[in-house]
Amino acid sequence: MFVSDFRKEFYEVVQSQRVLLFVASDVDALCACKILQALFQCDHVQYTLVPVSGWQELETAFLEHKEQFRYFILINCGANVDLLDILQPDEDTVFFVCDTHRPVNVVNVYNDTQIKLLIKQDDDLEVPAYEDIFRDEEDSGSDSDGSEPSEKRTRLEEEIVERTMRRRQRREWEARSGSGSEPLAAALEKSSRLFPSPMSDRTASRSPRRDILFDYEQYEYHGTSSAMVMFELAWTLSKDLNDMLWWAIVGLTDQWVQDKITQMKYVTDVGVLQRHVSRHNHRNEDEENTLSVDCTRISFEYDLRLALYQHWSLHDSLCNTSYTAARFKLWSVHGQKRLQEFLADMGLPLKQVKQKFQAMDISLKENLREMIEESANKFGMKDMRMQTFSIHFGFKHKFLASDVVFATMSLMESPEKDGSGTDHFIQALDSLSRSNLDKLYYGLELAKKQLRATQQTIASCLCTNLVISQGPFLYCSLMEGTPDVMLFSRPVSLSLLSKHLLKSFVCSTKNRRCKLLPLVMAAPLSMEHGTVTVMGIPPETDSSDRKNFFGRAFEKAAESTSSRMLHNHFDLSVIELKAEDRSKFLDALVSLLS
């Protein structure tokens, strides 16, 4: 059920309890976690933090901890599947779910005892009415006057009873047989429970109900940033601090960087946060020289859409920002020539452009944003500046929100093998604190390497014609042995590569039909297990709604061909597939979407 009063129904409930936090591996989830940690620290709430990168880790961690905790908080995971069916919890276990994934599973919405959804009600959720999904078949075919209510259970109550019985039977079976069955078979069985077809169970016995569920579940998209939701809770509790506000800004910016929300949604949420920024930082607005060594100041900016440019050279930033690289077509000789023309139009000496931004002449930096915007307009780049925020730590440390997103993301998905996924998660979490600026600067260096690798891989794919039309979608597969290929086996890195590749391809192709197509991207995952990561990206022209239909399409294609697929990622449009099943899977996908 949706929680309407976050203070009473959530915070005051967990305030006196030991709680367990499951936090997904994305920047918005980390920011939401930082805000909640700060609140818990303020009120001395005991908690345990467990990072989870996918459904298998979530299940394993829950089994490990379920005896010690009654209350569980899930951040950016859990809303879009039937959580009780997956985790099989005891009847008194309660889950608080703060998740951006949409659509929200209908059983989660209408379960009012164990599932508490910390989700903004003003998001366009479009949840089907209870009566349309869970009504009795007998009721739908007859004129019910509301008599004899005690003789009939609602459909949801029946399903909850059934699930409870199945959970008990499963626990008894596990106790008798012990654990340790075949891992692949178990993983595939779990995957089938995670994402049952809406037409596969008794709920689908009537066509109208099946159609309603299908229409509701067919597209995947994202709602309000979890960090923003947690900041609003802090504000409600009158415990919001400038640090918390900055984490909310970084969480929203993560959604924008990863194209998870529409431009309209981003601008609307920036407006909400701008009011909080004015409230928290009003004393410094007209006093440029009020910074002290330990001061933190957040400012609204109308800044350049260039990745990390204040921590890089302007030339490197122009070459490795998706927006400019795609529009200049920098993978071609002609594109490199256009970049030189662009720099000449601005009147910037090449020596200045290629040295660190911090070392550029102050006289050039003063009007740089206006100069770049003016020249960008001449070269067809009308969106060179964007609404964002920056933060000053003392005199010399200034970061744009997107800088922090790229740095934190790179720390979390670091390809270095000197630590586990949990180590990388903790390092990324630590980098968000102002006391750990050394980690943030290290993250910026990793981010530069990742952005370079992304643009080099895009250039390689386009120059060797690896992006091919399969009819209803474009397809690109990274081969074993490609430079930096292991970096792109990680979902966030692969997602950024795929979205930037699609932007570049749309700018490069003359085929009008291909410009309108979505992209399916594949990258090697594990040579040992012979698996690949497959991801679906909506068409570049669909930027008005950012809805993704590939999750259900992948499910159907795998089902019809018996392809060995694992839905382990929290985004339904990302799957793990046996490499040898790839051909038949793609054939089925082409047939399904044609």
Residue 148 domain-assigned (yes or no): no
- Please report, rounded to a whole number, the percentage of residues in the chain having pLDDT higher than 70: 84
Whole-number pLDDT of residue 214: 86
Interval 460-486 mean pLDDT: 91
* 246 shares a domain with 348: no
**Range from 202-206, 288-292, 391-395, 554-558 carrying the lowest mean pLDDT:** 202-206
Average pLDDT on 75-83 reads 94
Most confident among 199-208, 227-236, 412-421 (mean pLDDT) = 227-236
Q: What is the mean pLDDT of residues 129-152?
A: 54
Position 232 pLDDT exceeds 80: yes
Q: Worst-scoring range by mean pLDDT, 81-95, 96-110, 414-428?
A: 414-428
Residue with tokens 């993983």: 187
The H-or-E segment that residue 166 falls in is helix 155-177
Any domain includes 177: no
DSSP secondary structure, 516-584, as one string: T--EEEEEEEETTTTEEEEEEE--GGGTTT--B-HHHHHHHHHHHHT--EE--SSSTTEEEEEGGGHHH
The answer as to whether 8 is a domain residue is yes
Contact yes or no for 443/407 (Cβ under 8 A) = yes
Supply angle C-alpha 52, 54, 59, rounded to 5: 75
Over 70: is that where the pLDDT of 387 sits? yes
One domain, residues 300 and 434: yes
Q: Residue 122: pLDDT above 90? A: no
Rounded mean pLDDT of the chain? Answer: 85
User: 96 in a domain, yes or no?
Assistant: yes
Within this chain, do residues 432 and 472 fall inside the same structural domain, yes or no? no
**d(Cα 355, Cα 234) in Å, to the nearest integer?**
42
- pLDDT confidence band for 372 (50 / 70 / 90): very high
Residues 410 and 321 in one domain: yes
User: For tokens 């075919």, what's the residue?
Assistant: 141
Instruction: Give yes or no: residues 397 and 337 share one domain.
Output: yes
447, 497: one domain: no
pLDDT band at 481 (very low <50, low <70, confident <90, very high): confident
Q: What is the distance between the alpha carbons of residues 253 and 269, in angstroms, rounded to a whole number?
A: 10
DSSP 216-256: HHS-BEE-S-HHHHHHHHHHHTT---HHHHHHHHHHHHHHH
CB within 8 A of 9, min separation 6: which ones? 3, 116
Q: Is residue 344 part of a domain?
A: yes
At 159-190, the pLDDT tens digits run 555 655 555 555 555 455 444 333 444 444 44
Q: How confident is the model at residue 147 (pLDDT cuts 50, 70, 90)?
A: very low
* Residue pointed to by tokens 């739908």: 140
Do 381 and 401 belong to one domain?
yes
Of 427, 455, 483, the domain-final residue: 455
| Interval 551-559 mean pLDDT | 92
pLDDT score at 484: 82
Distance (Å, rounded) from C-alpha 534 to C-alpha 494?
A: 9
Structure-token pair, residue 218: 């067919």
Give the pLDDT of residue 347: 87
For the entire predicted model, the pTM comes to: 0.88
Rounded CA gap, 447 and 486, in Å?
A: 15
Task: Please report the pLDDT score of residue 201 as a whole number.
Answer: 42
> Pick from 332, 281, 309: which is nearest to 447 by CA?
309
Residues 247 and 487: beta-carbon distance below 8 Å = no
Which pLDDT score is estimated for 165? 58
Number of domains the chain contains? 3
| Residue span of the structural domain in which 426 resides | 295-455
Nearest Cα residue to 453 out of 482, 484, 495: 484
- State whether 373 and 242 are in the same domain: no
Verify that 500 and 354 share a domain, yes or no.
no
Alpha carbon distance, N-terminus to C-terminus of the chain: 38
Whether residue 321 sits in one domain with residue 238:
no
Asked if 35 and 126 sit in the same domain, the reply is yes
Share of the chain above pLDDT 90, in %: 65
The CATH number assigned to the domain holding 528 equals 3.10.310
- How large is the average pLDDT for residues 128-134? 84
Chain segment 556-582, per-residue pLDDT in tens = 999 999 999 998 999 999 999 999 999
Mean pLDDT of 314-339: 94
Q: Is residue 269 domain-resident?
A: no
Do 532 and 560 lie in one domain? The reply is yes
Confidence of residue 100 (pLDDT cuts 50, 70, 90): very high
Q: What angle do CA 577, 525, 426 make, to 5 degrees?
A: 120
Q: If pLDDT is split at 50, 70 and 90, which confidence band does 486 have?
A: confident
Q: Peptide bond preceding 128: is omega within 30 degrees of 0, i.e. cis? A: no
Contact partners, residue 253, CB within 8 Å, separation at least 6: 388, 389, 401, 402, 404, 405
Say if 354 falls within a structural domain: yes
84, amino acid identity? L
pLDDT at 349: 86
The three-class DSSP label of residue 102 is strand
Confidence class for position 482, pLDDT limits 50, 70, 90: confident
Residue 152 pLDDT class (50, 70, 90 cuts): very low
Residue 189 inside a domain? The answer is no
Buried-state track 82-93, b at ≥16 Cβ within 10 A, e below 16: bbbbbbbbeeeb
